[in-house]
Amino acid sequence: MRSTWASFATMALALAGCARAEHPLTYRLIVTVSDNGRPVTGSVVRSEDWTPNQAGGADVPLKHNERGDAIVLPVHGRLLVVTLAGWNRPDCTGPRDPPGCHMQDDWSPQAAAPATVGEPGLWTWKSPPGADGRATLAAAELPVLVTFDGVPSLASARVVDAAHLDEALGPGVRLQSASVERSSEDVTRGVATALPFLRDRGPPMRECVPARPPPPNLPPGAQVENQDLGDCVWTTLFTE
């Protein structure tokens, strides 16, 4: 009986793995920051789709898959990173603006996502595209932004409020513009050039330890939760 159930489980995983992706989208995200009047621009091409997270019929929930890298901008002597993560609410620009904001899932330029297999329709973007096909994004429509306190690393990542970049990066630094548009280009890779810690081949982080109460001793392979994110800082924040 045990081997039979194992066979069924293997078949289910295989069927899910072969399932056709739904609502595929490849897009270019462009972000420009003004550093005291000097524009600093970066862009990446990312792709996303939704696939069934289990074998089944039309009511099977879908899993969001994202592929791509973060944008890394050198601003005011520091690095500003436009991550792959999104906020849990559509009005969040940072961890406390408004209160109750925390990281949740991968970011998407789409405002709505299909919930189950076979759900039809086109999904509206966070901002409607103009005649040129490019949609302008406000601060609250951007992915989670981070910088680093000291040498860039998972542990030194610090969340930045997109509407108040000057608070983290210094006077005169502000979001100048952000936009997204469909693309037929290949997904951008190479973020580890700007963030070498992503090349670390050490043991992967295995446990996220709550920050409160502070742990007396951190277990091997563990990281303390980043309270601004409501989660630990994983490498998937920067590349997937």
pLDDT at 10: 46
pLDDT at 210: 82
Cβ atoms within 10 Å, residue 230: 15
| Structural domains of the chain, count | 1
* Residue 26 belongs to a domain: yes
pLDDT at 83: 97
* Residue 15 belongs to a domain: no
Which residue range(s) make up the domain with 169? 21-237
Predicted confidence pLDDT, tens digits, the chain (240 residues): 334 334 434 444 444 445 677 778 999 999 999 999 999 999 999 999 888 876 555 667 778 889 999 999 999 899 999 999 999 888 999 988 788 888 888 999 988 766 666 665 566 889 999 999 999 999 999 999 999 999 999 889 999 999 999 999 999 999 999 999 999 999 999 999 999 999 986 655 567 788 777 777 777 777 788 878 878 788 999 999
* Residue 3 belongs to a domain: no
* Residue 13 belongs to a domain: no
Instruction: Tell me how far apart the terminal alpha carbons of the chain are, to the nearest angstrom.
Output: 38
pLDDT at 29: 98
DSSP symbols for 8-23: HHHHHHHHHHHSPPEE
Local structure of 212: helix, strand or coil: coil
* Residue 14 belongs to a domain: no
Contact between 119 and 108 under an 8 Å Cβ cutoff? The reply is: no
pLDDT at 209: 81
Cα separation, 66 vs 57, whole angstroms: 23
